[in-house]
Amino acid sequence: MSFFQSFNLNGLNKRFAHSKLTKAVASTLLIVVAVGCSNNAADATNTEVVSNKQTVASTNVSVADNDASVVKALQANLAASGIEETITSAVPTDMEGIYWVSAQGLPSFFTDKSGKHIIQGQIVSVGGAEPIDISANLVAHSAKQALESVDKKDMVIFPATGATKSVVYAFTDVDCGYCRKLHEEIADINGRGIEVRYLAWPRSPESVPKMEAIWCSQDRNAAMTQGKMGAEVQAPSCANPVQEQMALGASLGVRGTPAIFTESGHQVGGYLPAAELEQAINAYK
């Protein structure tokens, strides 16, 4: 059984197994997760005309401006196609007639005003001084809410040294080379006033028990450091949030590790040296 199959069938995100839409929206993300550790900022940019790093976020969006008629139309069209999903909002974007859709247990996506088409991917506005990602702030708002809902006791937190100037959430895998490289700089990162909140994102079946052992350790911070150094971490089995955090990452569009989010919900990419990470965080303040 592949990791993609086990992710669907073994409860890591049960919603991905039960409907046509969840499979269609989530399958690409999950397949990429299974293939290996990559710099998340660049793992899927080979076919993009404009990369994420070349765009800026649109400022002309309102997450509160939900169009109930689009939600109703999309929900009806899905039901007509035998798809049972709960659509929570449809927000107009800078592209006329295109809406940003949020749904329970799914990565967000675009639809048209009729609710008859589902569009995945990045929409970039060009023709001005610089390319503009029209969905960036909408994506960030959803991510911010989701990350804030995670209890701190369910994370492995490396606090800032001295005053806390910034907080980042990092989906991590103990067997990921880029994750290990990031953790090698944890003292430097913390020394810059940045608190790092780790969330579990094992990319293979072999990594799942290793991550669970870290979360079940009495001293999670020490266990995380040992694991990132390649040491075997042993701990009694316990109730842990690893599977829930994997599902959370999938719903946020995580495709590789490390996947780093700011407090504002903006994803700043994968591994960045401490100084560059600080700059990336400050860009969203």
- In a structure prediction context, what are the per-residue pLDDT tens digits for the chain, which is 285 residues long? 323 233 332 333 333 334 455 544 544 333 333 333 654 433 433 334 444 555 555 544 455 589 999 999 999 999 999 888 889 999 998 889 999 998 887 788 999 999 999 988 778 888 888 888 877 778 888 899 999 999 999 999 999 999 999 999 999 999 999 999 999 999 999 999 999 999 999 999 999 999 999 999 999 999 999 999 999 999 999 999 999 999 999 888 898 999 999 999 999 989 999 999 999 999 988
Residue 233 confidence (pLDDT): 96
What is the spatial order of strands in the sheet that 124-125 belongs to? 56-57, 132-133, 124-125
Q: What's the CA gap between 189 and 274, in Å, rounded?
A: 5
The amino acid occupying position 218 is Q
Do residues 183 and 271 lie in contact, with contact meaning Cβ atoms separated by under 8 Å?
A: no
Beta strands in 149-242 (DSSP E): 156-158, 166-172, 194-200
In DSSP terms, 124 is beta-bridged to 133
What's phi and psi for 280, nearest 5 deg?
-65, -40
Q: How far is CA 56 from the centre of its chain?
A: 19
CA distance 266 to 251: 14
Residues marked as catalytic:
173, 176, 179, 203
* Structure token pair of residue 123: 């929409």
pLDDT at 14: 37
Q: What per-residue confidence (pLDDT) applies to 167?
A: 98
* CATH superfamily placement of domain 151-282: Glutaredoxin (3.40.30.10)
Within this chain, domains 52-145 and 151-282 share the same CATH topology: no
CA distance 229 to 282: 29
Rounded alpha-carbon distances, angstroms, from residue 37 to 129, 133, 256, 280: 34, 26, 6, 21
CATH of 52-145, one of 1.10.3720.10, 3.30.70.1450, 3.40.640.10, 3.10.450.70: 3.10.450.70
pLDDT of residue 56: 54
Is the omega angle on the peptide bond into residue 273 within 30 degrees of 0, that is, cis?
no
User: pTM here?
Assistant: 0.72
The whole-number pLDDT of residue 52 equals: 52
Tokens of 241: 């949030």
CA atoms lying within 13 Å on the CB side of residue 40 = 29
CA angle 48, 54, 58 (to 5 degrees): 105
The full set of domain ranges for the chain reads 3-35, 52-145, 151-282
Give residue 102's identity as a one-letter amino acid code: S
CA distances from 197 to 152, 187, 285 (A): 8, 14, 18
